Amino acid sequence: MRSLWVEKRKDDPVKTQMYYAKQGIITQEMEYVAKIEKLSPELIRSEIARGRLIIPANVNHTTLEPMAIGIAATCKINANIGSSAIASDVQGEVEKMQVSQHYKADTAMDLSTGGDLDEIRKAVIASSKIPIGTVPIYQILHDVGNKIEDLSIEVMLEVLERQAKQGVSYFTIHAGFLLETMPKIAKRKMGIVSRGGSLMAAWMMHYHRENPFYTAYDEILDICARYDVALSLGDSLRPGCLADASDDAQLGELKVLGELTLRAWEKNVQVMIEGPGHVPLNQIERNMKLQRELCHEAPFYILGPLVTDIAAGYDHISSAIGAAVGGWHGASMLCYVTPKEHLGLPNANDVREGIIAYKIAAHAADIARGRKGARDIDDEMSDARYRFDWNRQFELALDSERAREYHDETLPQDVFKEAEFCSMCGPKFCSYKITQSIMDNPEAIEQIAREVKEREALGA
Amino acid sequence: MRSLWVEKRKDDPVKTQMYYAKQGIITQEMEYVAKIEKLSPELIRSEIARGRLIIPANVNHTTLEPMAIGIAATCKINANIGSSAIASDVQGEVEKMQVSQHYKADTAMDLSTGGDLDEIRKAVIASSKIPIGTVPIYQILHDVGNKIEDLSIEVMLEVLERQAKQGVSYFTIHAGFLLETMPKIAKRKMGIVSRGGSLMAAWMMHYHRENPFYTAYDEILDICARYDVALSLGDSLRPGCLADASDDAQLGELKVLGELTLRAWEKNVQVMIEGPGHVPLNQIERNMKLQRELCHEAPFYILGPLVTDIAAGYDHISSAIGAAVGGWHGASMLCYVTPKEHLGLPNANDVREGIIAYKIAAHAADIARGRKGARDIDDEMSDARYRFDWNRQFELALDSERAREYHDETLPQDVFKEAEFCSMCGPKFCSYKITQSIMDNPEAIEQIAREVKEREALGA
């Protein structure tokens, strides 16, 4: 469907959603997401013009079904996929992409660092209806033979252009990490835990020159504007442990990201801001507020945050806790973390576990924000539970297959799909069933209400 | 060790920790938990006397290692085990008990409703160093041939006495659910989802008489005082879905629980209060505050709460989110929920998954509360990560076996236990490694700091 939309606009001087929004034009992408979000197209347009909402939609990703990231929209989640030097093949990544879409990730980032990067990315985009983001520094480093000191602005821009042409819808670039911040890092427990950030640090230390993504920021914006690639301004200095959370290094970079946001908006480039990381529960709300203030309400895209450092093997859970609270307090997209975090490269099953944990967090955030209609599906589920409609319960569950599998572990036969109990309590102890037999008798309840009233009247 | 402690006190008129605390006596149990909690024995004593902290420690559970539940102590977690009519055997429950202790549940509740209840409970207590709680109505119903209308106060008290004699350290009783509340339930989407609560409702509807646990509350307190069984005042009307959260039925019962708390304290019986359930994220803090006000700061023991209703198969996660926020805002113990919630009876692996999710929630709560030393283990983990000490990382992880297993999935060889990378990013892209090579050169960092300063002085 999107080929036609893009085709019609091919001669326009600028083709970004933000450009159209500022001109007062409602694009078909805006109309599409307005329907999904149950918001007016005009609201979507004005939020994009204001920079508070983005539609990451590269003009060359024509199989894309547009989606929106911003506080007016539902809270979104991203799944990271990608190869590493230790484990890499095209088919494996396409499989992760299919799993990501099956469990309804809203965007996916191809973070491949091993194997044929262009081929993997091509296959990933071709198999995807959701926007694909990348961290171009990984390929840049690859292209200069893994010698960071050989990175030049020319190579950098060439790789960005190549990926933009392929249809990448957002780039994470680490442009906000400046030389002046370097001494602040020495005070940290964990230093730099962003891969891109650490590479920038190595380059800056080698040359004693400013971050090349910062230096060439205007040229980068020009590429982004040409293909409507959104920028995801990376937090090179996100805290890698609770001890480093909300420190000067993190907040200093956030301030620079705010300045870069304004520069991008001037060139009609859509922007979101990346956020932590590892943050104690009681600092999350403050982090969300600071980002809004320093970054002019550009959408916040947070990685977790993990609320403890000791949950290796279960960091999808430790981070879903932080993500839910972050989403509630205003983050627009939650980047998932899988059970393999801190331990190894996730496989397809880890992708599933990570996505569902984050669907829970994002949905809990929508409900807590008081978003209209957010709780409707929960209410439907409760109704299905109360009437023992097991098949409907499985359908409504975030992971239908898993729900059915767990139920059927003890009661596999079809007859139990309408049974008025499950193996948790067995037939004699089902509270729903007992409650229903009571509620079936409204007269008795009224009778009790009368009795209580009478006793009260007697002062008993 | 505890046999001697109890033996020495055998002729005392009252033997509850609360009684001693009120007399100004510091028991050996109080000293023991003071050491664990790194608090002064006098603080423990005064908190128990005030009712703000309990040590659930039946005088007959002599293998018990005492532990404390209350806001002054670390946040605790409970694991529910127990058979149902569909799946029941003694060995299975003992295995769940071992898993519970291995993964460090702080208490366990034996909620068995199927099989030989006395035998299961005996085996569970014998294999346990942690306090065991029960919901006696399950056995009461069993003993009257599953006919709730045959429940009499005599049978009720006999079962309580029998379980107390066996060494149960806390009873959940549903004494706060009164006849007058019945009409409020008719307004709910899910009615009553507490098994005990629904049974009480059935009894009250049958006889049009007040809840027998309420009527016989004084006799129940006498039994509890004799064995030092703590009361866990059950929330029969906890919301079973988001739609019913914080409603009149729930809060009306909470008020009655507050009155029952004062009556228990008069008889030197320790009390905690049970709480929801299913609650949207944004209502959790308010729920914690209301409980403190209405229940005179008795410890709050919450079940989750789940922050969405649509996560069947993953409700350990949806509820760990609510539990972490609840613990942060003052809940003293978090009752775990397993991945099987709403679907079936948990097995030993589900117990493991549930416990770790809740260890994460409780620990995140301790950190967020600003508890002294709470973050020490996180800092140790971060140090181990930064120096690539993989074995130490596995040791510090909440589930060491799982962490090792996931790491070894891609890099099983011993040599990788000191490798300066993992399969997540591979050797070329490890941010820690890159950061360390930079930080190894403090002179270069100082040089940069000087350069930045000079440039600033020049107004550049």
**Which domains are delineated in chain A?**
75-369 (3.20.20.540), 374-456 (no CATH)
User: Can you tell me the distance from the alpha carbon of B325 to that of B306, in angstroms, rounded to the nearest whole number?
Assistant: 11
Q: Angle A281-294/A248-266 helices, nearest 10 degrees?
A: 30
Strand partners, B335: B78, B303
CB A32 within 8 A of CB A66: yes
How many other C-beta atoms lie within 10 A of the C-beta of residue A460? 7
User: Can you tell me the distance from the alpha carbon of B42 to that of B31, in angstroms, rounded to the nearest whole number?
Assistant: 9
pLDDT of residue A438: 82
Which residues touch A264 (CB under 8 Å, ≥6 apart)?
A: A221, A224, A231, A270, A271
pLDDT of residue B420: 80
Instruction: Give the range among A184-188, A351-355, B167-171, B285-289 with minimum mean pLDDT.
Output: A184-188
Taking the Cβ of residue A207 and every Cβ of chain B, the question of whether any pair is shorter than 8 Å is answered with: no
Mean pLDDT value across chain A: 94
pLDDT tens for A42-71 read 999 999 999 999 999 999 999 999 999 999
Partner-chain residue, chosen from B114, B314, B422, that has the shortest CB–CB distance to A426: B114
pLDDT tens for B109-167 read 999 988 999 999 999 999 999 999 999 999 999 999 999 999 999 999 999 999 999 99
User: Can you tell me the distance from the alpha carbon of A138 to that of A84, in angstroms, rounded to the nearest whole number?
Assistant: 10
Strand partners, A232: A172, A272
β pairing state of A53-54 and B107-110: unpaired
Q: How far is CA A187 from the centre of its chain?
A: 30
Taking the Cβ of residue A256 and every Cβ of chain B, the question of whether any pair is shorter than 8 Å is answered with: no
Distance in Å, alpha carbon of B292 to nearest chain A alpha carbon: 20
pLDDT tens for B36-59 read 999 999 999 999 999 999 999 999
Taking the Cβ of residue A86 and every Cβ of chain B, the question of whether any pair is shorter than 8 Å is answered with: yes
Taking the Cβ of residue A342 and every Cβ of chain B, the question of whether any pair is shorter than 8 Å is answered with: yes
AA letter at A266: E
The secondary structure of residue A344, as a DSSP letter, is S
Contacts 24+ apart (CB under 8 A), B91-100: B92/B347, B92/B348, B93/B120, B93/B123, B93/B124, B94/B123, B94/B124, B94/B127, B95/B348, B96/B346, B96/B347, B96/B348, B96/B351, B97/B124, B97/B127, B97/B128, B98/B127, B99/B348, B99/B351, B99/B352, B99/B355, B100/B130, B100/B351, B100/B355
| A94 pLDDT above the threshold of 90 | yes
The ipTM value here is 0.96
Q: With an 8 Å Cβ cutoff, are A365 and B441 in contact?
A: no
The pLDDT confidence band at residue A441, using thresholds 50, 70 and 90, is confident
Find out whether the peptide bond into A427 is cis, omega within 30 degrees of 0: no
Q: With an 8 Å Cβ cutoff, are B410 and A345 in contact?
A: yes
CB A78 within 8 A of CB A323: no
Taking the Cβ of residue A89 and every Cβ of chain B, the question of whether any pair is shorter than 8 Å is answered with: no
Q: Which two tokens stand for residue B451?
A: 């350069």
pLDDT of residue B460: 54
pLDDT of residue A139: 96
Taking the Cβ of residue A62 and every Cβ of chain B, the question of whether any pair is shorter than 8 Å is answered with: no
Q: Which helix (H) or strand (E) segment is A396 a member of?
A: helix A390-396
Q: How far is CA B282 from the centre of its chain?
A: 21
Residues of A in contact with B86 (CB under 8 A): 410-411, 423, 426
**Nearest-5° Cα angle at A240, A299 to B418:** 145
Q: With an 8 Å Cβ cutoff, are A367 and B339 in contact?
A: no
| A83 pLDDT above the threshold of 90 | no
Q: With an 8 Å Cβ cutoff, are B344 and A429 in contact?
A: no
Instruction: Give the residue from A58, A37, A36, A66 showing the smallest Cα distance to A130.
Output: A66
Which residues touch B340 (CB under 8 Å, ≥6 apart)?
A: A406, A424, B346, B347, B350
User: Can you tell me the distance from the alpha carbon of B344 to that of B346, in angstroms, rounded to the nearest whole number?
Assistant: 6
Residues of B in contact with A457 (CB under 8 A): none
Phi then psi for residue B80, to 5 deg, are -90, 130
| B426 pLDDT above the threshold of 80 | no
Which residue matches tokens 């009409």?
Answer: B183
Instruction: Give the range among A200-209, A350-359, A364-373, B293-302 with minimum mean pLDDT.
Output: A200-209
Interface test with A, best of B343, B410, B423 (most A CBs within 10 A): B343
Q: Is A442 helix (H, G, I), strand (E, B) or coil?
A: helix
pLDDT of residue A460: 54
Q: Is A106 helix (H, G, I), strand (E, B) or coil?
A: coil
pLDDT of residue A167: 98
pLDDT of residue A433: 85
Q: Which helix (H) or strand (E) segment is A390 a member of?
A: helix A390-396
| B421 pLDDT above the threshold of 90 | no
Instruction: Give the residue from B335, B267, B264, B327 showing the smallest Cα distance to B296.
Output: B264
Taking the Cβ of residue A308 and every Cβ of chain B, the question of whether any pair is shorter than 8 Å is answered with: yes
Question: What is the DSSP secondary-structure string of A167-226?
Answer: T--EEEE-TT--GGGHHHHTT-SS----HHHHHHHHHHHHHT---HHHHTHHHHHHHHHH
E-strand spans in A259-336? 271-275, 300-303, 333-335
Mean pLDDT value across chain B: 94
Rg (chain A; Cα; Å):
25
pLDDT of residue A268: 98
Mean pLDDT of B439-453: 81
| B61 pLDDT above the threshold of 70 | yes
The pLDDT confidence band at residue A304, using thresholds 50, 70 and 90, is very high
CB B320 within 8 A of CB B361: yes
**Nearest-5° Cα angle at B164, B158 to B168:** 135
A83-104 per-residue burial string, b: 16 or more CB within 10 A, e: under 16? bbbbbbebebbbbbbebbbebe
Residues of A in contact with B316 (CB under 8 A): 317
β pairing state of B132-134 and B107-110: parallel
Mean pLDDT of B434-439: 84
Which residues touch B402 (CB under 8 Å, ≥6 apart)?
A: A312, A313, A314, B356
Q: Which helix (H) or strand (E) segment is B112 a member of?
A: none
Instruction: Give the residue from B210, B273, B285 showing the smallest Cα distance to B245.
Output: B285
pLDDT of residue B439: 80
The pLDDT confidence band at residue A453, using thresholds 50, 70 and 90, is confident
User: Can you tell me the distance from the alpha carbon of B45 to that of B28, in angstroms, rounded to the nearest whole number?
Assistant: 11
pLDDT of residue A414: 83
Taking the Cβ of residue A136 and every Cβ of chain B, the question of whether any pair is shorter than 8 Å is answered with: no
Q: Angle B217-227/B248-266 helices, nearest 10 degrees?
A: 50
Residue B342 labeled ligand binder: yes
Residues of B in contact with A386 (CB under 8 A): 189-191
CB B185 within 8 A of CB B198: no
Mean pLDDT of A260-274: 98
Q: How far is CA B54 from the centre of its chain?
A: 13
Residues of B in contact with A430 (CB under 8 A): 195
Which residues touch B421 (CB under 8 Å, ≥6 apart)?
A: B388, B427, B429, B430, B433
Partner-chain residue, chosen from B321, B339, B452, that has the shortest CB–CB distance to A406: B339
Q: Is A444 helix (H, G, I), strand (E, B) or coil?
A: helix
Q: Which two tokens stand for residue B352?
A: 């493991």
Q: Which two tokens stand for residue B283?
A: 């209502």
Query: Which of the two residues, B446 and A218, has the higher pLDDT score?
Result: A218
pLDDT of residue B444: 82
Helices (H) and strands (E) in chain B, counts: 21, 10
User: Can you tell me the distance from the alpha carbon of B343 to that of A411, in angstroms, rounded to the nearest whole number?
Assistant: 10
Interface test with B, best of A117, A236, A281, A355 (most B CBs within 10 A): A281
Q: Which two tokens stand for residue B266?
A: 């008069």
pLDDT tens for B64-77 read 999 999 999 999 99
Q: With an 8 Å Cβ cutoff, are A191 and B436 in contact?
A: yes
User: Can you tell me the distance from the alpha carbon of B320 to that of B358, in angstroms, rounded to the nearest whole number?
Assistant: 6
The reported pTM is 0.96
User: Can you tell me the distance from the alpha carbon of B356 to that of B301, in angstroms, rounded to the nearest whole number?
Assistant: 18
Q: With an 8 Å Cβ cutoff, are B396 and A310 in contact?
A: yes
Distance in Å, alpha carbon of B140 to nearest chain A alpha carbon: 12
Q: Please give the C-alpha separations between residue A175 and each of A65, A172, A425, in angstroms, as whole numbers.
A: 29, 9, 56
The secondary structure of residue A52, as a DSSP letter, is S
Which residues touch A102 (CB under 8 Å, ≥6 apart)?
A: none
